[in-house]
């Protein structure tokens, strides 16, 4: 669905839901009857709403969530705060529906900006034998650690949850299911993975000034021809020593700005993974190929070219986001979370996917596992039925309200209205890719690969695999054995 269609549907739903909420029953008794035929939900999406359990009523019961993330900028999708922003307003409306129509009071505890917060909280809950949290959205590395240790529930065991529904991220369900079990995933009820999905933004004013060969970036993306080769070609047109001191630093102009994680980002954008699930449901190493070597070597060379600056290692004293807002950078490879820094930027900017390695491949949108948080549940939750029903209802209503609001906040800045990038979001978000080798940090290969960029050594990839192959294979084998054993235990 395009952005404009989503927005129109959301506006229609908002008016309908306001009416239905104002007329909702206030009594404390259980309601086991089906929703009226003319309800807002059936009007908006009759097929989807009819397939989930929506006649539940929990009489003011609290539904507790635990939210953790390594980044201090992790969004809380359950706190509407003062309701000023479009996302806060959508959260408020979604929460109100959950309370008024289903009798559920959502309460979320957050712990953002510290590593292992999810592991610590879940260890406490697990040791008590009863989890105080009905649902969790935990930092990516924490979720993987907890899954390996058997502390997370296979989400397929939750009552009423159907992961084929559109409000569940189908790529996450596909990529994160091991041995038939899904211990953590992504979906519309959380925008954290959206925020930490990679994208490439470009300064439209600088593009018009510096690129005169007729290149149309949006057309390249629409036709599937936006590649790393094109990124390098156009970026190479922009490099200028602005202050004339012969030292290229943050006070000068560049065609491209990156950060260390972009190397793995481009590896994933090319469709490659350190490890993935095979047809037998087992995790296996998949990084050792000539194509993988070519992808990494190419981007290491781009990242160390004279038209590119890495903001994690630059000098000169100018902040990376200031460089972009004051027209010193043509392309910036970043994540959606950072776009809020540019809301007041008066020069137009556009959004593109991270480029393909070659135009014949499919689109793959990388995510940043260290920054991401995933939906999961403790094995010790006391009411799997309630968690399942509420998770589905949250997903349904979040898709109707939060998803259009996320598009709105991403595309509309204070000065910039970037409708052209709407189609780009429809390329990026449905095509995410999740690398199990990165999420589970197999043999710390994510760091070893990233060091290729830091040290400007594009030739060392074959040596990396040769030196870690045996160790990584043993780790993968142990994870498989653990997950297949958990599968038997949960039967």
131 and 190 share a domain? yes
Same domain for 250 and 121: no
Computed over every residue of the chain, the mean pLDDT equals 89
Q: Range of 22's domain?
A: 3-195+370-411
The number of distinct structural domains making up the chain is: 2
Residue ranges of alpha helices (H) inside 281-383 are: 290-303, 320-325
Do 332 and 476 share a domain, yes or no? yes
Query: 237: which 2 tokens?
Result: 């047109």
What are the backbone angles phi and psi of residue 240, rounded to the nearest 5°? -150, 130
Task: For the chain, list residues with pLDDT below 50.
Answer: 1-45
Asked whether residue 136 falls in the same domain as residue 250, the answer is no
Q: Which two tokens stand for residue 6?
A: 């989503």
Do 54 and 124 form a contact (C-beta atoms < 8 A)?
A: no
Query: For residue 129, what are the CA distances in angstroms to 23, 122, 124?
Result: 40, 11, 9
Q: What is the pLDDT of residue 84?
A: 84
Tell me the per-residue pLDDT of 276-296, one tens digit each, with 9 for 90 and over: 999 999 999 999 899 999 999
pLDDT at 125: 74
pLDDT confidence of residue 491: 65
335 and 476 inside one domain = yes
Span 239-275, pLDDT tens digits: 999 999 999 999 999 999 999 999 999 999 999 999 9
DSSP letter at 339 equals G
Mark whether 348 and 227 lie in a shared domain. yes
Kindly state whether residues 290 and 379 are assigned to the same domain: no
Contacts of 359 by beta carbon, 8 Å cutoff, 6+ apart: 224, 225, 227
Give domain status of residue 425, yes or no: no
The residue from 411, 444, 472 where one domain ends is: 411
Radius of gyration (C-alpha) of the chain in whole angstroms: 23
CA distance 346 to 352: 19
Same domain, 20 and 121: yes
CA distance 401 to 409: 13
Question: Is 363 part of any domain?
Answer: yes
Question: Do residue 212 and residue 170 come from a single domain?
Answer: no
* Same-domain status, 159 and 209: no
> How many Å apart are CA 146 and CA 118, to the nearest integer?
9
Position 19 scores a pLDDT of 35
The number of C-alpha atoms within 13 Å of 34 and in the hemisphere containing its C-beta is 9
Query: Is 424 inside any structural domain?
Result: no
Dist CA 449 CA 300 (whole Å): 10
CATH number of the domain within which 74 lies: 3.40.190.10
């Amino acid at each position: 669905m395009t952005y404009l269609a989503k927005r129109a549907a959301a506006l229609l739903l908002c008016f309908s839901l306001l009416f239905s909420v104002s007329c909702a029953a206030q009594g404390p008794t259980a309601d086991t009857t089906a929703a009226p035929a003319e309800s807002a939900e059936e009007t908006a999406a009759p097929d989807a709403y009819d397939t989930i359990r929506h006649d539940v009523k929990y009489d003011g019961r609290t539904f507790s969530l635990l939210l953790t993330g390594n980044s201090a900028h992790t969004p809380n999708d359950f706190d509407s705060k003062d309701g000023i922003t479009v996302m806060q307003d959508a959260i408020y409306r979604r929460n109100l529906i959950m309370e008024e129509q289903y009798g559920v009071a959502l309460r979320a505890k957050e712990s953002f900006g510290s590593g292992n917060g999810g592991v610590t909280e879940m260890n406490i809950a697990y040791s008590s034998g009863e989890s105080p949290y009905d649902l969790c959205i935990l930092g990516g590395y924490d979720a993987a650690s907890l899954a390996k240790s058997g502390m997370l529930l296979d989400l397929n065991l939750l009552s009423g949850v159907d992961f084929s529904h559109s409000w569940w991220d189908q790529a996450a369900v596909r990529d994160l299911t091991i041995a038939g079990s899904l211990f953590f995933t992504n979906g519309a009820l959380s925008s954290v993975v959206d925020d930490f999905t990679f994208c490439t933004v470009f300064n439209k004013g600088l593009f018009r000034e510096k690129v005169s060969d007729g290149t149309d970036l949006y057309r390249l993306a629409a036709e599937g021809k936006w590649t790393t080769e094109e990124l390098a070609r156009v970026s190479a047109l922009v490099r200028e020593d602005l202050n004339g001191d012969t030292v290229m630093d943050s006070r000068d102009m560049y065609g491209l700005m990156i950060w260390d994680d972009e190397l793995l980002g481009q590896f994933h954008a090319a469709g490659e993974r350190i490890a993935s699930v095979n047809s037998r449901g087992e995790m296996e190493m998949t990084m050792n190929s000539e194509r993988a070597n070519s992808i990494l070597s190419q981007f290491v060379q781009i990242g160390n070219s004279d038209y590119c600056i890495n903001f994690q290692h630059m000098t000169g004293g100018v902040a990376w986001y200031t460089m972009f807002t004051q027209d010193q950078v043509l392309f910036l490879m970043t994540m959606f979370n950072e776009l809020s820094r540019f809301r007041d930027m008066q020069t137009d900017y556009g959004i593109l996917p991270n480029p393909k390695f070659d135009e014949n491949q499919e689109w793959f949108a990388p995510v940043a596992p260290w920054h991401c948080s995933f939906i999961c549940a403790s094995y010790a939750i006391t009411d799997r039925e309630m968690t399942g029903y509420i998770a589905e209802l949250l997903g349904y209503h979040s898709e109707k309200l939060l998803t259009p609001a996320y598009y709105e906040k991403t595309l509309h800045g204070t000065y910039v209205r970037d409708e052209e990038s709407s189609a780009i979001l429809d390329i990026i978000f449905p095509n995410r890719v999740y690398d199990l080798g990165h999420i589970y940090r197999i043999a710390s290969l994510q760091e070893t690969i990233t060091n290729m960029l830091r040290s400007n050594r594009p030739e060392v990839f074959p040596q990396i695999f040769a030196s870690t192959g045996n160790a990584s294979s043993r780790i993968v084998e142990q994870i498989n054995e653990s997950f297949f054993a958990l599968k038997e235990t949960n039967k």
